[in-house]
Amino acid sequence: MFADIATGLLSTLEPMVLLYILGGVIFGLVLGVLPGLSGITVIVLLMPLCYNMTAESAIPLILAGYSVTYQGGSITAVLLNVPGVASNAATLLDGFPMTQQGKSGRALGITLTASPLGGILGVVILASVIPVIRPVVLAFTSPECLMLVFMGISLIAVLGRGSMRKALMAAGLGLLFSFVGFSSITGMPRYAFGVTYLWDGIRTVTLALGLFAVPTAVSLMTTGGTIAQVSGQVATAVPDIIEGIRDVFRHWWLFLRSSAIGCLIGAIPGVGGEAAVWLAYGHAKQTSKHPEKFGTGCVEGIVAPESANNAKEGGSLLPMLAFGIPGSLGVAILMGALLILGIEPGPLFLQESLDLTFAMIGVVVLANIIGAIITLPAAAKMARIAFAPGHILAPLILVLVSLGAYAIANDMMDVVATFIFGALGYSMEKFGYSRATFFIAYILGVLAERYFHLSLAAYGFMFLLRPIALTLFIITMLSLFSRPLGNVLRRIRSG
């Protein structure tokens, strides 16, 4: 086991791997600074490259880009009061007041230290949990894995924002989309509607590009104007930045607790990053000796959400690597990229590819360090990107999306399909259907069907009565029906 860990970690220090990490970091930071373009956009735009790259080069590029998005997002949150990524919103509360007080350098120093260190701590926690979780993973056979898939999807549907009914419809739609193409059971084509293009199934990249990148471009095209609607102070001084770095170490205990909160929340599918940062912020306020200072430029108010923000990514990798269940949308898309590369995360993955698991952990650590080194001196300049007008970015994103779609198989049909999925993604966003639930269900659909048939073949319908499977089934049902049942009980009580 230790040999695998050492091999995995050392592989990230190879020059070519470092180069890909650097490329991913720069791409992730630039897109992170741009409000509206999240880590998801980073992976989605990089995903087409998976078809032309080996796993050794694609994983560092994509994972590094995804890992540092939150660092980029913190910059605009602090300097411009505009969160680059939704989960940077909690940083605004104390980050921007600090900037207004002329302490932007100090605020940046805090965010750009707490965020990468939180990210590193998150994966360190993940790495330390892996040896413990391996025996647990071995207890999971196909019925348990099937129930775990359903539990993951239902938790994401129930705990996500908006209507649960719409989220369940989105989940059903995602599962059905995954069945398009040749059946993995009999080899017969299904749901192709006479279209030969669909025989190979719906391509993950076209779907991801359409669902997430096209609506972003459309939003930029319809709203116009600059992305950041405010004029911000972008001046920072080096001594202030150093003071901010010291602040994180002065509040090391809060940093550790917030990172642990982030990691734990990140590991629960469906709870999401935004919950993690707000919980950490709330915890910091509750345990502070001076809670009244929160919201006025308080150091702890930046340390807590920033450390939780990046730490949650380490946590969300855990259920994907151990069980094949992504903890967040970003990780779901990452899992899609891994599947394209021929890597199937799940119980067997931890057994057979421990070196790769630790290589991924090493990439996240290195990306965070490189990201911090790049951002600390360049933060003020990077923040100016947020003033780029939407009508300049929109055509560039559309062209990149089209190019990415075409690169999958050199087929113009993929470009057309991407825009059709774009229309679906935009409509889902507009009408409140969770695209995250849809995409996660789509990713897990094929696995679910395979586990279902394996369970049936091995145990018949009695597979539901296996202890762990039954427990997971009950949890799934409780999560699905607790809210409607609660409503009914409340109505009965109120007469």
Partner 1 sequence: MRPHTVFALILLAFFGVVIVISLGYDQRDKLFPLIIAIPTAFIAVVQIVEEVRARTKSQVVPDEKQVARQGVFRGYGAVLGWIAGLLVATYALGLLIGFPLFTFLYLKLHRVGWLLSITLALAIAGLVYGGFAIAFEMPLYKGLVFMLKS
Interacting residues toward partner 1 by CB under 8 A? 52, 163, 165-166, 168-169, 171-173, 175-176, 179, 183, 185-186, 188, 190-191, 218, 221-222, 224, 389, 391-392, 394-396, 398-399, 402-403, 406-407, 410, 412, 415-416, 419, 422, 427, 430-433, 448-449, 452-453
Using the minimum distance from each CB to partner 1, give the nearer residue, 324 or 390. 390
Using the minimum distance from each CB to partner 1, give the nearer residue, 243 or 429. 429
Q: From CA 71, how far away is CA 371, in angstroms rounded? A: 7
- For the CB of residue 62, give the shortest distance to partner 1 in the complex, in Å: 16
Using the minimum distance from each CB to partner 1, give the nearer residue, 186 or 286. 186
- For the CB of residue 299, give the shortest distance to partner 1 in the complex, in Å: 41
Q: From CA 419, how far away is CA 404, in angstroms rounded? A: 12
List b or e across 3-14, with b for residues whose CB sees 16 or more CB atoms inside 10 angstroms.
ebbeebbebbee
- For the CB of residue 413, give the shortest distance to partner 1 in the complex, in Å: 11
- For the CB of residue 214, give the shortest distance to partner 1 in the complex, in Å: 8
Q: Residue 337 in contact with residue 58, Cβ under 8 Å? A: yes
Radius of gyration of the chain (CA): 22
- For the CB of residue 30, give the shortest distance to partner 1 in the complex, in Å: 14
- For the CB of residue 452, give the shortest distance to partner 1 in the complex, in Å: 5
Q: 324 to each of 331, 336, 483, how far by Cα in Å?
A: 10, 11, 27
Using the minimum distance from each CB to partner 1, give the nearer residue, 86 or 388. 388
DSSP string computed for 48-65: GGGGGS-HHHHHHHHHHH
Q: Residue 242 in contact with residue 109, Cβ under 8 Å? A: yes
Using the minimum distance from each CB to partner 1, give the nearer residue, 195 or 412. 412
Using the minimum distance from each CB to partner 1, give the nearer residue, 163 or 288. 163
Using the minimum distance from each CB to partner 1, give the nearer residue, 279 or 401. 401
Residues 6+ apart with CB under 8 A from 217: 393, 394, 397, 398, 401
Q: Residue 417 in contact with residue 210, Cβ under 8 Å? A: yes
Q: Identify the burial level of 87 via C-beta atoms within 10 angstroms of its C-beta, where 0-12 means exposed, 13-18 middle and 19 or more buried.
A: buried
- For the CB of residue 205, give the shortest distance to partner 1 in the complex, in Å: 14
